[in-house]
Amino acid sequence: MPAEFTQYIFLRKELLAVSKVGKFWVREQLCAPYGEAFFCPICAEVWATVTVEGQPTHCRNAFCERHEIGDRLGTWSFGTVERWQLPGSLWSSYDSVWNSRLPPAALQRELLLTIAYREKELNQPIYADNLYPPRLGA
Ligand SMILES: [Zn+2]
């Protein structure tokens, strides 16, 4: 097994970055990196893929840039979607090893995405409907 693997990041069909990634430790086990396909539970689109040559790719439920928690229709049924995750983000709020594998082009995109989202958030009035969890009977 190689010491380094080639990782490809695609946003929809467009290549964002190619980089080299190494193995990582999980407790006492040295593991090979893996890929993730980002699946939006609203539009059913795989809006990003991070693949690692010769390694398996997992599926991650994550809202695309066009959809977010406010678009919910029974959000509780989406299972493992991180509700605090920025729509369209490749960042993980719980996996620092994953984040360390994101190359500069992906980090730059994360920064721009965060700024755009926060600007949008600042310009939106806060209504009770924007809050989570929804009120019963609403
Ligand atoms: Zn979507």
Over residues 58-76, the pLDDT tens digits come to 998 888 998 876 555 545 5
Element (H, E) at 80: none
CA of 138 to the centre of ligand 1 (A): 24
Average pLDDT over the chain reads: 83
CA of 29 to the centre of ligand 1 (A): 35
Q: What is the average pLDDT across 84-103?
A: 89
CA of 85 to the centre of ligand 1 (A): 13
User: Residue 101 corresponds to which amino acid?
Assistant: R
What residues form DSSP beta bridges with 36?
Answer: 50, 58
Strand stretches in the chain, DSSP E: 4-11, 14-22, 24-26, 29-31, 35-39, 46-52, 57-61
Greater pLDDT, 40 or 93: 40
CA of 41 to the centre of ligand 1 (A): 7
